[in-house]
Amino acid sequence: MSECILYKKLDSKKVRCTCCSLKCVIPNHETGECGVRKNRNGKLYLEVYGKPDAVAVDPIEKKPLYQFYPTSTAFSIGTFGCNFKCTFCQNWDLSQASKTNDIENLTNSYDLSPKDVIKICKKKKCKVIAYTYNEPTIFTEYALDCAKLAQKEGIKNVYVSNGYQSVETIELLSPYLDAINVDLKAFTSRFYQELSGVRLAPVLKNIKRWHDLGVWIEVTTLVIPGENDSEEELTNIANFIASINIDIPWHISAYYDAYKMEGKGRTPLKSLLKAYNIGKKAGLNYIYTGNVRNSETEATFCPNCNAEVISRYGYYTDVHSIKNGKCKKCGTPIKGIWSDDCQNRLVPKKITDPNEIHAILYPEGSKNQNEGQYINFFEGSTFDRERQILILYGTQTGKTEQIANQLYEVLIHSERTKKSFDFRIVDLDDYNPENLPLEKNIVLLTSTHGEGEAPDNALALFEYLESKNISQNSSLLEGLKFSIFGLGNSTYGDRYQKMSKYFDTKFELLGAERLYQRGEGDEFKNNIQISFKKWFNNLISSLCENLGVKEQNNILIEKSHFKIKYLENIIEKENEKEMEKEKEMEKEKEKEKEIEMEIENFSTSNSNKFYNSKNPFQSKLLEKNELMKNGGDRSCVQVKLNLKNSNIKYNCGDHIGILPKNSLQNITKLAKILNVNLDQKIQITPPRRFKKVMTIRECFESYCDLTGPVPNIIFQTLSKYTKDQKEQKCLLEWYHDINKYKEWNDENKYGLIHILEKFPNIQLTFETFLQFVPRIAPRYYSISSCSQYDPNSVQLTVQILANGLCSNYFNNLQMNDPISLFWKKTNFKINNKHPSILIATGTGIAPFRGMLRERLYLKENQIQEKFPETFLFFGCRTHQYDFIYEDEFEKYSKLGLITNSFYAFSRDQQNKIYVQHKLKEQKELLQKVMQNTEAQILVCGNPNMSIQIKETFSQMFGKKGLKDLIKSNRYIEESW
């Protein structure tokens, strides 16, 4: 451990690390993103100084550096930690270890001071020290001290890096660094943000910086099938390198499955050869393939006469046609760093046994190697492993995360459990499934996404379990006890609870034992909280019984477990300095954004940037038009949102996720009820659900769902905070009788803010309120426009509901008001080659409007003149008021984009007529179309409608027939 050079002290014993481009602000007793630079009482320390965990003598070609002292050996060192979190990391056991463990609890394999490193280099006759294996930037102070001593001894220094250094680090290190290989992993922001957790811009900027400083640079791209192997992306990478210098070597390496990314398979040689040819076309003089054996594409050729000047096969290297750094045949300079004693030798490079390193420094014996790759989430635990319980959650919209957090908060504070068990909660994004066989007790909460798929953050777990053959791995999870709770909506039919059932069955088949049976929460029946409470209490009883713990009474959601720190609003002189620093940081961020825009302009690719709920695109409202006809009692608006400079390229049927905000009216009401100052700055711990520092206004506006459905279990809690007996009676009645609650909720659609208004004697503190208020989750809307007509905007069709959070957010928006959004791809697509049956009610018509507009574009531009048979079934309340887009659909019918239309207006006659009635009337037509063609059925509407439509088709085609249509992707539904 050694105090860092690269950091700045801030107030409240915080520090800002300036080592890499993340510029982490680190509170006292915490580490930065890398996990190895720790704040100890306002000073930043490098915890791995002098403590490498990986040490070896490697050929320089392994780094890979092909034109820097070829055939020389490099003494290679690496530590724990990394500032990236690449899902495909091939050294993840080193790079990610410090992110899930306190660094103090990680046992390193070596103790090597900078002097020791030089001593080993001289003993092993290594020309080079390579700082590699994990990201060397994070241990720059250690590397710097080694590099200074090495330079005095004539030993060269090289980095193998992700290229995310700060300007300060580059300036500090560049006088001592001789060469660097930078990973340019891709050329899209999406790839870097989604798969590595960082931004692309600093990497590109730093490649140019290192080159301009005169450090020899080579670039490596790991080509991952389906991720960065498109012709456009490879062309962008090659063009970027060439724009700096055509003499920069480009290494194109083959990928193999590693860490969290599996199922991609090894990169085909043809993909590498495609990239090789793209590099040549871009004008690059030196291109190499890696992780494959191909002597032709591993060799170095003269850029002038094309003579082979260095032959390679793996790490066998023969420098046979270079003299004084020039081609022997034509005298053209071969760019690189050369040495006369590297000439004319064919040297197989054998990696030295790391134990030899110990023998040099410790002749009497070597230290034990660190064993195993288990990432211990229970560091410093006073409990044995039998009582350690890991809570994992898979979530798509955030609901499962809320339930998991609720479970965790109660468990760690309840007298019943806190003294008997040791709990940890982990997002499945941060969990390596390879550790499953080493766990003892797991509680898994998960939802089901899309067409019955695992949530995005649970995909790695799903793929890991899928890869395990039952007959060969029936005892893989022996010793593991588990229980699973699933969240879902029973209106989704066969997809309901599909993932919770899958995980439950798979765990058992692989030898795990249930702690308690699987639980189900059904959003459609509004019983998630009730089912969860019952399952939770039975689970705890089972845990206690299994481990011999005496049971005690427990109440779910008893008190607030959040701690609120109220910060001073008066800014003193010291705080003014900090504000100035923050402004400087904001300016730097703005510059970075400008650079990112330059990168996007440089790119010839039309691929999407990566946006999600945590990283939304900042759009604005361009248009808002009422769609309902005059005289109706409801409102439905079409909104047009800006996409300019987003590089989002959506398809018809995709979704836009909106991050809504509560209205000022509701925020003000809540502030009055809770008696708080909206401008008060606060810091909330634990911060899992909230950003660390904000105002109460920001908290209410962006985090607290004030108008969404209220889980009925909350009424039990609220009943304890009112002394009014009538209010208590009503609240407890709703809590115990789900039917009364559901009847009341269906009639009123009240949110939490309305409950607090309805029961004025409820007395809550701000802290208590935060405990149970639902968190705002993104709202998703089907896109109702066609990007070909206007790629710089997107249109949504929004039904305005009385207490709808997002619809009222839209209703209150004014022109050019900002709005945060992100794009989400779906499989809800129309097939322009086969007949289609389109079925929708209300705003469910939105995606079909977009699809038909796309057909109109294809027809107008003579791309496709004729389209297959298309039958539209649409239902709404009344023809006069509620038939949105009527004129447009008449136009599409006249142009032949729709073959036949069948409309159901439920309230235009005494007996209600719905879409399913129109389907039954056309039974023979539909059976004929589905049986004689490859027609598809697309259904879009509310869950009740979807159930009725599915039942109608089940009667038409039989249950098995409908299942076959669903399996073959010929029956696709989208409901909400």
Q: What is the pLDDT of residues 479-501, one digit of tens each?
A: 899 999 999 888 777 788 999 99
What's the pLDDT score for residue 129?
94
Specify which residues 39 forms β-bridges with: 44
Residues 920-939: pLDDT tens digits?
Answer: 999 999 999 999 999 999 99
What's the pLDDT score for residue 710?
74
Is the pLDDT reported for residue 898 higher than 90? yes
Rounded CA-CA distance 235/233 in Å is 5
CB distance 912 to 904 below 8 Å: no
Q: How confident is the model at residue 712 (pLDDT cuts 50, 70, 90)?
A: low
Rounded CA-CA distance 647/630 in Å is 38
Q: To 5 degrees, how large is the angle CA 267–CA 272–CA 273?
A: 140
| Strongest mean pLDDT among 214-228, 431-445, 601-615 | 214-228
Domains and CATH numbers, the chain: 2-361 (3.20.20.70), 385-547 (3.40.50.360), 606-661+776-826 (2.40.30.10), 829-975 (3.40.50.80)
Is the pLDDT reported for residue 877 higher than 50? yes
Q: Which of 360-374, 650-664, 693-707, 816-830 has the lowest mean pLDDT?
A: 360-374
Rounded mean pLDDT, 899-906: 95
Q: How confident is the model at residue 372 (pLDDT cuts 50, 70, 90)?
A: very low
Q: How confident is the model at residue 354 (pLDDT cuts 50, 70, 90)?
A: very low
Residue 588 burial (CB < 10 Å; 0-12/13-18/19+)? Answer: middle
Is the pLDDT reported for residue 836 higher than 70? yes
What's the pLDDT score for residue 743?
73
More confident residue, 259 or 515: 515
Is the pLDDT reported for residue 258 higher than 80? no
Is the pLDDT reported for residue 503 higher than 80? yes
What's the pLDDT score for residue 939?
94
Rounded CA-CA distance 279/273 in Å is 10
What's the pLDDT score for residue 944?
82
Is the pLDDT reported for residue 751 higher than 90? no
Rounded mean pLDDT, 640-667: 91
Rounded mean pLDDT, 755-771: 88
Rounded mean pLDDT, 337-361: 48
Rounded CA-CA distance 116/3 in Å is 20
What's the pLDDT score for residue 189?
84
Q: Which of 156-170, 456-470, 948-962 has the lowest mean pLDDT?
A: 456-470
**CA separation (Å) from 782 to 620, 721, 847?**
18, 41, 6
What's the pLDDT score for residue 348?
34
Q: How confident is the model at residue 459 (pLDDT cuts 50, 70, 90)?
A: confident
What's the pLDDT score for residue 415?
64
CB distance 524 to 490 below 8 Å: yes
More confident residue, 462 or 739: 462
- Percentage of residues in the chain having pLDDT higher than 70: 83
What's the pLDDT score for residue 604?
35
Q: How confident is the model at residue 164 (pLDDT cuts 50, 70, 90)?
A: very high
More confident residue, 743 or 157: 157
> Residue 438 corresponds to which amino acid?
L
Q: Which of 1-5, 385-389, 957-961 has the lowest mean pLDDT?
A: 385-389
Is the pLDDT reported for residue 584 higher than 60? yes
Rounded mean pLDDT, 127-155: 92
Please spell the DSSP secondary structure of 261-305, one letter per residue: B-SS-PPPHHHHHHHHHHHHHTT-S-EEEESS--HHHHSEE-TTT
Phi, psi of 669, rounded to the nearest 5 degrees? -60, -45
The closest of 433, 437, 428 to 473, measured between CA atoms, is: 437
3 state SS of 878: coil
More confident residue, 242 or 367: 242
CB distance 390 to 376 below 8 Å: no
Residue 738 burial (CB < 10 Å; 0-12/13-18/19+)? Answer: middle
What's the pLDDT score for residue 362?
47
Q: How confident is the model at residue 369 (pLDDT cuts 50, 70, 90)?
A: very low
Q: Which of 141-150, 680-689, 705-714, 838-847 has the lowest mean pLDDT?
A: 680-689
What's the pLDDT score for residue 373?
38
Rounded mean pLDDT, 488-517: 88
What's the pLDDT score for residue 786?
94
Count Cα neighbours of 505 within 13 Å in the Cβ-side half-sphere.
9
What's the pLDDT score for residue 798?
94
What's the pLDDT score for residue 85?
84
What's the pLDDT score for residue 658?
92
What's the pLDDT score for residue 570?
38
3 state SS of 533: helix
| Mean pLDDT of the residues in the chain | 82
Phi, psi of 106, rounded to the nearest 5 degrees? -90, 130
Residue 409 burial (CB < 10 Å; 0-12/13-18/19+)? Answer: buried
Q: How confident is the model at residue 608 (pLDDT cuts 50, 70, 90)?
A: very low
Is the pLDDT reported for residue 370 higher than 50? no
Rounded mean pLDDT, 440-462: 85
Rounded mean pLDDT, 579-606: 52
